[in-house]
Structure 1
């Protein structure tokens, strides 16, 4: 029987990093998406003690198409992420598409090839995420078109329901994407269609997402397509929600676990 690792993005939880890790594991999660800011000296030992894995380290922002003045700095930042990932025993780094208005679009392919090559030197994978407010590759079909063209074996897609549905997309965007090119699936929901301007949209996404099943997204359609395609990668919860984050970490983690298991038991 297929077994998809179940993860929780720690952005949902309040408290110190150790408290977040313990709460996620106690709720039942196999893995967590950990932010660079949550990695501490005690993290590797605690994760081993809890038998908790890491889906990825977040988040290498605006790497592709960086202007000349920032390009070398971004490459150094990647190396820092690789070092952090190695320290905690993680093999994957999340690097979304660029949100910069001054992104040099003509250089994105070159940057992604370099990113893939550098990551491969350390047996690392890159999760490329199309976000609804990105200046390029802001939809799953656009991101998939680019990855198909580049054909780098260690770069795969993030499927985030918010970023598909917020601009008006649906589960049909998964059609034609091989399951092994999807590196993770992030489930969430939203109460209503958010504003479409970039800044209000990003603010909505960072404060008002809901747990799957609490809003208007047809989560079942995504789940059915993924299961039919034989998706066997990590599936989990990425929810930025101020009200949930104000609750004790163990309470919020338990609610997330229940929501995930309604759709992916």
Structure 2
């Protein structure tokens, strides 16, 4: 089982990499695990890799699967909302991840609301609890990731759902970019809140960036939509390596460790600039930056 001393190479840091390529780059850079998206799994199968092949690649490189990322089709929705989500490519159901967990094992399953739909905490908690119960059959922990533009926009909203679900394997994924861009800081991670975290991803964001008040409800609908698009563009193309921005990644991780959170650290840096280094180069740069931050 991956623990607090382990680094995990997230798929977003090495976009477009194949299964073997990602594993070899992760191993060479000193990571202990990798994450997989549903499309990574399907891509490996399409390339002709068998489950036995993938297991062998992981074993040969001393890796395990840190996280299966991410279930997006899990909230109760009406038919029109479901059609909109499907058309936008947001609907990824849980079934494929059970197949992946059965085949390769994993530490955790990530769950996210990505389309900006309204979320009612009670109904979301019921759905999240159901995922946790099913995931327990595979030995998975489950974490709910908050996104600043989404229906679960900050850590408090995620905590409310996790608390209502009340599942021993359920918790929060804290991504330092999302914490920063939702107006959060390490000071917000008081022990009672921090202990709900069972997944960690780190990257950084340009400072000063989007002010918290600009992310709150208070402008015209079109302005709110523009802010969401700006955030989505930055998160998918312009993240920074840990320690290179204003998110105070070291302090966030220190607060989590002080609260007893022993999750491994995933390094997720969506960055067009980083991508120009290639898969191996991006993995090495991400590992070096992460180790430097964690050493602090």
TM-score (normalizing by structure 2): 0.80
Is the Cα contact below 8 Å between 1:124 and 1:154 reproduced in 2?
A: yes
* Residue 54 (structure 1) aligns with: 65
How far did residue 76 of structure 1 move? 9.1
Is the Cα contact below 8 Å between 2:10 and 2:35 reproduced in 1?
A: yes
How far did residue 239 of structure 1 move? 0.7
Is the Cα contact below 8 Å between 2:126 and 2:165 reproduced in 1?
A: no
CA–CA separation in structure 2 for the residues paired with 1:102 and 1:187: 27
1:59–1:134 Cα change, 3 Å: same
For structure 2, the residue ranges without an aligned partner over 5 or more in a row are 216-226
CA–CA separation in structure 2 for the residues paired with 1:20 and 1:138: 30
Is the Cα contact below 8 Å between 2:73 and 2:93 reproduced in 1?
A: no
Q: Output one character per residue of 1:99-157: Cα deviation in whole Å (capped at 9) or x when no partner.
A: 3436566521221222222222333322211111112x211122112212221112111
Matched, 1:43 2:79: no
Matched, 1:115 2:140: no
CA–CA separation in structure 1 for the residues paired with 2:257 and 2:198: 14
> What SS does the corresponding residue of 1:224 show, helix, strand or coil?
helix
How far did residue 75 of structure 1 move? 10
1:109–1:98 Cα change, 3 Å: farther
For structure 1, the residue ranges without an aligned partner over 5 or more in a row are none
* Residue 171 (structure 2) aligns with: 156
Q: Output one character per residue of 1:156-196: Cα deviation in whole Å (capped at 9) or x when no partner.
A: 11111111111322112321336653222111111231484
Indicate which of 57, 82, 87 corresponds to 2:98.
82
Is the Cα contact below 8 Å between 2:144 and 2:171 reproduced in 1?
A: yes
CA–CA separation in structure 1 for the residues paired with 2:126 and 2:162: 12
Matched, 1:128 2:129: no
Is the Cα contact below 8 Å between 2:7 and 2:265 reproduced in 1?
A: yes
Indicate which of 106, 111, 122 corresponds to 1:95.
111
> What SS does the corresponding residue of 1:264 show, helix, strand or coil?
helix
* Residue 158 (structure 2) aligns with: 143
Matched, 1:24 2:26: yes
TM-score (normalizing by structure 1): 0.88
Q: Output one character per residue of 1:15-49: Cα deviation in whole Å (capped at 9) or x when no partner.
A: 43311210011100011122222222332220111
Mapping of residues 199-218 of structure 1, within 5 Å? 199-218=229-248
Q: Output one character per residue of 1:213-252: Cα deviation in whole Å (capped at 9) or x when no partner.
A: 1112222221221232232211131110011112121111
Indicate which of 223, 239, 258 corresponds to 1:228.
258
Pick which of 61-70 and 7-16 moved more.
61-70
Is the Cα contact below 8 Å between 1:32 and 1:55 reproduced in 2?
A: yes
Stretches (4+) displaced over 6 A: 73-76
